[in-house]
Protein backbone atom coordinates (compact mmCIF):
# COMPACT_ATOMS: atom_id res chain seq x y z
CA UNK A 1 0.00 0.00 0.00
CA UNK A 2 1.54 3.27 -1.13
CA UNK A 3 1.40 6.29 1.20
CA UNK A 4 1.87 9.89 0.13
CA UNK A 5 2.83 12.34 2.83
CA UNK A 6 1.26 15.77 3.27
CA UNK A 7 2.43 18.99 4.90
CA UNK A 8 3.50 19.19 8.55
CA UNK A 9 1.48 21.15 11.13
CA UNK A 10 2.44 21.08 14.83
CA UNK A 11 4.82 18.21 14.25
CA UNK A 12 2.19 16.05 12.56
CA UNK A 13 2.07 14.91 8.96
CA UNK A 14 -1.15 14.15 7.06
CA UNK A 15 -1.31 11.64 4.28
CA UNK A 16 -3.85 9.57 2.43
CA UNK A 17 -3.85 6.39 0.44
CA UNK A 18 -6.04 5.54 -2.51
CA UNK A 19 -6.95 1.97 -3.27
CA UNK A 20 -8.94 1.54 -6.46
CA UNK A 21 -10.03 -1.86 -7.72
CA UNK A 22 -11.25 -1.00 -11.19
CA UNK A 23 -10.85 -2.29 -14.70
CA UNK A 24 -9.92 0.06 -17.55
CA UNK A 25 -12.44 1.01 -20.21
CA UNK A 26 -12.68 3.10 -23.34
CA UNK A 27 -15.48 5.36 -24.53
CA UNK A 28 -17.13 3.96 -27.68
CA UNK A 29 -24.04 5.27 -36.83
CA UNK A 30 -26.09 2.33 -39.56
CA UNK A 31 -23.33 0.87 -41.63
CA UNK A 32 -22.17 3.07 -44.47
CA UNK A 33 -20.70 1.62 -47.67
CA UNK A 34 -17.01 1.93 -48.42
CA UNK A 35 -16.14 5.27 -50.00
CA UNK A 36 -13.75 5.71 -52.92
CA UNK A 37 -10.25 6.45 -51.70
CA UNK A 38 -8.26 8.33 -54.34
CA UNK A 39 -5.25 8.36 -52.05
CA UNK A 40 -4.02 4.84 -51.36
CA UNK A 41 -1.08 4.91 -49.03
CA UNK A 42 1.18 7.62 -50.43
CA UNK A 43 -0.04 6.97 -53.97
CA UNK A 44 -3.03 8.14 -56.02
CA UNK A 45 -5.19 5.91 -58.20
CA UNK A 46 -8.12 7.79 -59.67
CA UNK A 47 -10.89 6.48 -61.91
CA UNK A 48 -11.01 8.50 -65.16
CA UNK A 49 -13.53 6.90 -67.50
CA UNK A 50 -15.48 3.85 -68.63
CA UNK A 51 -16.51 3.39 -72.27
CA UNK A 52 -18.25 0.56 -74.10
CA UNK A 53 -18.12 -0.38 -77.79
CA UNK A 54 -21.27 -2.36 -78.52
CA UNK A 55 -19.94 -3.42 -81.93
CA UNK A 56 -16.90 -5.17 -80.50
CA UNK A 57 -18.52 -5.88 -77.11
CA UNK A 58 -15.47 -4.44 -75.36
CA UNK A 59 -15.41 -2.04 -72.41
CA UNK A 60 -12.43 0.17 -71.60
CA UNK A 61 -11.57 1.27 -68.05
CA UNK A 62 -9.09 4.11 -67.58
CA UNK A 63 -7.25 5.34 -64.48
CA UNK A 64 -4.72 7.99 -63.55
CA UNK A 65 -1.95 6.52 -61.39
CA UNK A 66 0.58 8.65 -59.51
CA UNK A 67 3.37 7.17 -57.43
CA UNK A 68 4.47 8.51 -54.08
CA UNK A 69 8.10 8.84 -53.09
CA UNK A 70 10.59 6.83 -51.09
CA UNK A 71 9.49 4.18 -51.68
CA UNK A 72 7.85 4.53 -55.06
CA UNK A 73 5.08 2.27 -56.36
CA UNK A 74 6.32 -1.16 -57.43
CA UNK A 75 2.96 -2.67 -58.46
CA UNK A 76 -0.77 -2.32 -57.94
CA UNK A 77 -3.72 -4.70 -58.22
CA UNK A 78 -7.36 -3.98 -59.04
CA UNK A 79 -9.94 -6.55 -58.02
CA UNK A 80 -11.45 -8.61 -60.86
CA UNK A 81 -12.87 -12.12 -60.74
CA UNK A 82 -13.89 -12.53 -64.38
CA UNK A 83 -10.84 -14.62 -65.23
CA UNK A 84 -7.91 -13.98 -67.54
CA UNK A 85 -9.94 -14.84 -70.66
CA UNK A 86 -12.11 -11.73 -70.21
CA UNK A 87 -9.09 -9.37 -70.28
CA UNK A 88 -8.57 -8.27 -73.88
CA UNK A 89 -5.70 -5.80 -73.56
CA UNK A 90 -3.96 -3.38 -71.20
CA UNK A 91 -1.74 -0.33 -71.54
CA UNK A 92 1.18 -1.97 -69.73
CA UNK A 93 2.43 -5.31 -68.50
CA UNK A 94 -0.12 -7.12 -66.41
CA UNK A 95 -0.88 -10.44 -64.77
CA UNK A 96 -4.11 -12.02 -63.60
CA UNK A 97 -4.68 -14.09 -60.50
CA UNK A 98 -4.33 -13.92 -56.73
CA UNK A 99 -1.56 -11.54 -55.72
CA UNK A 100 0.25 -12.99 -52.69
CA UNK A 101 1.39 -9.58 -51.51
CA UNK A 102 -1.96 -7.78 -51.33
CA UNK A 103 -4.12 -10.94 -51.18
CA UNK A 104 -6.32 -9.48 -53.93
CA UNK A 105 -7.41 -11.57 -56.90
CA UNK A 106 -7.47 -9.38 -59.98
CA UNK A 107 -5.44 -7.54 -62.59
CA UNK A 108 -1.91 -6.79 -61.42
CA UNK A 109 0.05 -4.00 -63.09
CA UNK A 110 3.71 -4.62 -62.40
CA UNK A 111 5.64 -1.95 -64.34
CA UNK A 112 7.49 -0.15 -61.54
CA UNK A 113 7.25 3.59 -60.98
CA UNK A 114 9.81 6.23 -60.10
CA UNK A 115 9.22 8.79 -57.38
CA UNK A 116 6.32 11.02 -58.42
CA UNK A 117 5.74 9.23 -61.76
CA UNK A 118 2.27 9.74 -63.24
CA UNK A 119 0.68 7.48 -65.85
CA UNK A 120 -2.61 6.84 -67.58
CA UNK A 121 -3.39 3.15 -67.28
CA UNK A 122 -6.24 1.34 -69.04
CA UNK A 123 -7.48 -2.16 -69.55
CA UNK A 124 -10.10 -3.65 -71.89
CA UNK A 125 -12.61 -6.34 -70.98
CA UNK A 126 -14.95 -8.54 -72.98
CA UNK A 127 -18.45 -7.32 -72.25
CA UNK A 128 -19.75 -4.39 -70.28
CA UNK A 129 -20.24 -4.17 -66.55
CA UNK A 130 -21.85 -1.78 -64.07
CA UNK A 131 -19.58 0.62 -62.23
CA UNK A 132 -19.12 0.22 -58.52
CA UNK A 133 -16.53 0.53 -55.78
CA UNK A 134 -13.91 -2.19 -56.02
CA UNK A 135 -10.85 -2.91 -53.97
CA UNK A 136 -7.36 -1.82 -54.99
CA UNK A 137 -4.05 -2.73 -53.37
CA UNK A 138 -0.63 -1.13 -53.77
CA UNK A 139 2.87 -2.27 -52.91
CA UNK A 140 5.89 0.00 -52.50
CA UNK A 141 9.31 -1.12 -51.30
CA UNK A 142 9.43 -4.34 -49.31
CA UNK A 143 6.54 -4.08 -46.90
CA UNK A 144 4.53 -0.95 -47.71
CA UNK A 145 1.10 -2.40 -48.51
CA UNK A 146 -1.99 -0.18 -48.72
CA UNK A 147 -5.62 -0.60 -49.75
CA UNK A 148 -8.41 1.59 -51.07
CA UNK A 149 -11.58 1.66 -53.13
CA UNK A 150 -11.98 3.09 -56.64
CA UNK A 151 -14.69 2.87 -59.26
CA UNK A 152 -14.38 -0.08 -61.58
CA UNK A 153 -16.18 -3.00 -63.21
CA UNK A 154 -18.46 -4.94 -60.90
CA UNK A 155 -18.68 -8.64 -61.57
CA UNK A 156 -17.60 -10.51 -58.49
CA UNK A 157 -20.28 -11.88 -56.23
CA UNK A 158 -19.87 -9.86 -53.07
CA UNK A 159 -20.26 -11.07 -49.51
CA UNK A 160 -21.23 -9.79 -46.09
CA UNK A 161 -19.65 -9.60 -42.66
CA UNK A 162 -21.87 -9.22 -39.61
CA UNK A 163 -20.57 -7.83 -36.33
CA UNK A 164 -22.76 -9.08 -33.48
CA UNK A 165 -22.75 -7.65 -29.94
CA UNK A 166 -24.12 -9.34 -26.82
CA UNK A 167 -24.18 -8.89 -23.07
CA UNK A 168 -21.85 -11.59 -21.80
CA UNK A 169 -23.18 -11.85 -18.26
CA UNK A 170 -20.95 -14.74 -17.22
CA UNK A 171 -17.91 -13.48 -19.10
CA UNK A 172 -17.21 -16.72 -20.96
CA UNK A 173 -17.02 -15.13 -24.44
CA UNK A 174 -20.09 -17.07 -25.70
CA UNK A 175 -23.70 -15.84 -25.96
CA UNK A 176 -25.61 -18.20 -23.70
CA UNK A 177 -29.36 -18.41 -23.05
CA UNK A 178 -30.59 -15.32 -21.27
CA UNK A 179 -27.79 -13.07 -22.53
CA UNK A 180 -29.31 -10.18 -24.48
CA UNK A 181 -28.14 -8.51 -27.69
CA UNK A 182 -26.63 -5.04 -27.31
CA UNK A 183 -27.91 -2.09 -29.38
CA UNK A 184 -26.11 1.17 -30.18
CA UNK A 185 -22.49 0.02 -30.13
CA UNK A 186 -20.11 1.34 -32.82
CA UNK A 187 -18.31 -1.23 -34.95
CA UNK A 188 -15.66 -0.32 -37.55
CA UNK A 189 -14.60 -2.36 -40.60
CA UNK A 190 -11.02 -2.37 -41.88
CA UNK A 191 -9.32 -3.92 -44.89
CA UNK A 192 -6.71 -6.46 -43.88
CA UNK A 193 -6.00 -7.82 -40.43
CA UNK A 194 -5.22 -5.95 -37.24
CA UNK A 195 -7.76 -3.09 -37.47
CA UNK A 196 -5.18 -0.64 -38.84
CA UNK A 197 -5.23 2.01 -41.55
CA UNK A 198 -8.23 3.97 -42.76
CA UNK A 199 -11.58 2.35 -41.95
CA UNK A 200 -13.76 1.15 -44.82
CA UNK A 201 -17.06 1.64 -43.00
CA UNK A 202 -18.60 1.90 -39.57
CA UNK A 203 -22.03 1.38 -38.07
CA UNK A 204 -24.02 1.07 -34.87
CA UNK A 205 -25.56 -2.22 -33.78
CA UNK A 206 -29.32 -2.54 -34.24
CA UNK A 207 -31.89 -3.98 -31.84
CA UNK A 208 -30.62 -7.46 -32.69
CA UNK A 209 -27.07 -6.46 -31.84
CA UNK A 210 -25.95 -6.50 -35.48
CA UNK A 211 -24.07 -4.30 -37.92
CA UNK A 212 -24.07 -5.86 -41.40
CA UNK A 213 -21.34 -4.76 -43.82
CA UNK A 214 -22.38 -5.63 -47.38
CA UNK A 215 -20.92 -5.49 -50.88
CA UNK A 216 -17.55 -6.88 -49.81
CA UNK A 217 -15.22 -8.68 -52.15
CA UNK A 218 -13.29 -11.72 -51.08
CA UNK A 219 -10.28 -11.02 -48.93
CA UNK A 220 -9.11 -10.43 -45.38
CA UNK A 221 -10.92 -7.92 -43.16
CA UNK A 222 -10.98 -6.93 -39.51
CA UNK A 223 -13.61 -5.35 -37.27
CA UNK A 224 -13.03 -3.34 -34.12
CA UNK A 225 -15.53 -2.49 -31.41
CA UNK A 226 -15.46 0.72 -29.38
CA UNK A 227 -16.01 0.11 -25.69
CA UNK A 228 -18.51 2.11 -23.68
CA UNK A 229 -17.81 3.51 -20.24
CA UNK A 230 -18.58 1.02 -17.51
CA UNK A 231 -18.16 -2.02 -19.73
CA UNK A 232 -15.31 -4.40 -20.44
CA UNK A 233 -14.80 -6.81 -23.34
CA UNK A 234 -14.90 -10.59 -22.94
CA UNK A 235 -13.78 -11.25 -26.53
CA UNK A 236 -11.05 -9.60 -28.60
CA UNK A 237 -11.75 -5.92 -29.33
CA UNK A 238 -10.30 -6.41 -32.84
CA UNK A 239 -11.20 -9.58 -34.73
CA UNK A 240 -9.91 -10.77 -38.14
CA UNK A 241 -11.88 -12.68 -40.76
CA UNK A 242 -11.24 -14.07 -44.25
CA UNK A 243 -14.22 -13.64 -46.57
CA UNK A 244 -14.67 -15.96 -49.55
CA UNK A 245 -16.31 -14.81 -52.78
CA UNK A 246 -19.99 -14.32 -52.05
CA UNK A 247 -19.48 -15.56 -48.51
CA UNK A 248 -21.11 -14.53 -45.26
CA UNK A 249 -19.25 -14.33 -41.96
CA UNK A 250 -20.28 -13.42 -38.41
CA UNK A 251 -17.97 -12.06 -35.74
CA UNK A 252 -19.27 -12.13 -32.16
CA UNK A 253 -18.26 -9.47 -29.65
CA UNK A 254 -19.06 -10.03 -25.97
CA UNK A 255 -19.16 -7.36 -23.28
CA UNK A 256 -20.10 -7.21 -19.65
CA UNK A 257 -20.87 -4.28 -17.40
CA UNK A 258 -17.92 -3.51 -15.21
CA UNK A 259 -18.11 -2.13 -11.68
CA UNK A 260 -15.60 -1.86 -8.90
CA UNK A 261 -14.78 0.12 -5.77
CA UNK A 262 -12.65 3.08 -4.80
CA UNK A 263 -11.23 3.07 -1.30
CA UNK A 264 -9.63 6.21 0.12
CA UNK A 265 -7.66 6.09 3.38
CA UNK A 266 -6.38 9.07 5.35
CA UNK A 267 -3.40 8.48 7.68
CA UNK A 268 -1.23 10.50 9.98
CA UNK A 269 2.50 9.88 10.02
CA UNK A 270 2.87 8.72 13.58
CA UNK A 271 4.51 5.46 14.60
CA UNK A 272 2.48 3.39 14.32
CA UNK A 273 0.30 5.38 11.88
CA UNK A 274 -3.35 5.90 12.61
CA UNK A 275 -6.36 6.73 10.47
CA UNK A 276 -7.64 10.30 10.49
CA UNK A 277 -11.30 11.27 10.14
CA UNK A 278 -12.79 14.49 8.84
CA UNK A 279 -11.14 14.79 5.42
CA UNK A 280 -13.05 15.62 2.22
CA UNK A 281 -12.06 14.44 -1.25
CA UNK A 282 -13.06 15.35 -4.81
CA UNK A 283 -13.56 12.49 -7.27
CA UNK A 284 -13.50 13.30 -11.00
CA UNK A 285 -15.37 12.32 -13.03
CA UNK A 286 -18.28 11.72 -10.72
CA UNK A 287 -18.84 7.94 -10.86
CA UNK A 288 -22.53 8.42 -10.14
CA UNK A 289 -23.73 11.70 -11.69
CA UNK A 290 -22.44 15.19 -12.43
CA UNK A 291 -19.06 16.75 -13.15
CA UNK A 292 -17.41 15.93 -9.81
CA UNK A 293 -18.09 14.27 -6.49
CA UNK A 294 -17.21 15.73 -3.09
CA UNK A 295 -17.24 13.04 -0.41
CA UNK A 296 -16.43 13.34 3.29
CA UNK A 297 -15.41 10.60 5.67
CA UNK A 298 -18.57 8.79 6.89
CA UNK A 299 -20.73 10.62 4.35
CA UNK A 300 -24.12 8.85 4.75
CA UNK A 301 -24.84 9.05 1.02
CA UNK A 302 -21.61 7.73 -0.47
CA UNK A 303 -19.26 6.26 2.15
CA UNK A 304 -20.01 2.55 2.60
CA UNK A 305 -17.33 1.99 5.27
CA UNK A 306 -18.10 3.28 8.80
CA UNK A 307 -14.42 3.15 9.78
CA UNK A 308 -13.06 6.57 10.67
CA UNK A 309 -10.48 7.62 8.09
CA UNK A 310 -11.73 5.21 5.40
CA UNK A 311 -14.02 6.21 2.53
CA UNK A 312 -15.41 3.38 0.39
CA UNK A 313 -17.25 4.15 -2.86
CA UNK A 314 -19.12 1.11 -4.16
CA UNK A 315 -20.64 0.23 -7.57
CA UNK A 316 -18.22 2.47 -9.42
CA UNK A 317 -18.22 2.03 -13.23
CA UNK A 318 -14.86 0.98 -14.60
CA UNK A 319 -12.77 3.85 -15.83
CA UNK A 320 -10.05 6.34 -14.91
CA UNK A 321 -10.59 8.63 -11.91
CA UNK A 322 -8.72 11.49 -10.25
CA UNK A 323 -9.00 11.92 -6.47
CA UNK A 324 -7.88 15.13 -4.72
CA UNK A 325 -8.08 16.08 -1.06
CA UNK A 326 -10.01 19.34 -0.68
CA UNK A 327 -10.42 19.59 3.12
CA UNK A 328 -7.89 18.24 5.62
CA UNK A 329 -8.72 16.95 9.11
CA UNK A 330 -8.65 19.55 11.86
CA UNK A 331 -5.07 20.47 12.74
CA UNK A 332 -3.62 19.27 9.44
CA UNK A 333 -2.82 20.85 6.10
CA UNK A 334 -4.43 19.17 3.12
CA UNK A 335 -2.40 17.22 0.62
CA UNK A 336 -3.79 18.61 -2.63
CA UNK A 337 -1.74 16.42 -4.98
CA UNK A 338 -4.19 14.71 -7.39
CA UNK A 339 -4.05 10.91 -7.52
CA UNK A 340 -5.02 9.03 -10.69
CA UNK A 341 -6.55 5.61 -10.31
CA UNK A 342 -8.24 3.14 -12.63
Under CATH, what is the fold of the domain 4-24+260-341? Immunoglobulin-like (2.60.40)
8 A C-beta contact, residue 139 and residue 101: yes
Q: How far apart are the first and last CA of the chain?
A: 15
8 A C-beta contact, residue 37 and residue 150: yes
pTM here is 0.48
pLDDT score of 38: 58
- Which tens digits make up the pLDDT trace of 104-150? 889 999 998 999 999 999 999 999 998 888 889 999 988 889 988 88
- Which tens digits make up the pLDDT trace of 75-84? 999 999 888 9
Pick the CATH number of 159-257 from 2.60.34.10, 2.60.40.10, 3.40.50.2000, 2.40.128.720: 2.60.40.10
Please state, as a whole number, how many other Cβ atoms lie within 10 Å of the Cβ of residue 328: 21
Task: Report whether pLDDT(27) > 50.
Answer: no
* Average confidence score pLDDT of the chain: 85
**CATH code for residues 39-153:** 2.60.40
- Among 170-174, 207-211, 316-320, whose mean pLDDT is lowest? 316-320
Amino acid sequence: MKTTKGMAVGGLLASFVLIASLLASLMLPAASPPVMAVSIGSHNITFVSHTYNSTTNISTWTYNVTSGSSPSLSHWVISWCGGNSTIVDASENREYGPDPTTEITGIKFEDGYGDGDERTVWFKLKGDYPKGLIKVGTKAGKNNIAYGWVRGPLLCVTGTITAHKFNDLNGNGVQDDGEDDLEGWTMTLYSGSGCTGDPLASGATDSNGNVVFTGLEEGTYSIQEILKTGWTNTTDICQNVTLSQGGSEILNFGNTECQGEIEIKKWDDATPPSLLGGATFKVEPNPYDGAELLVTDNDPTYDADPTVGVILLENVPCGDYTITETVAPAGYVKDDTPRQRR
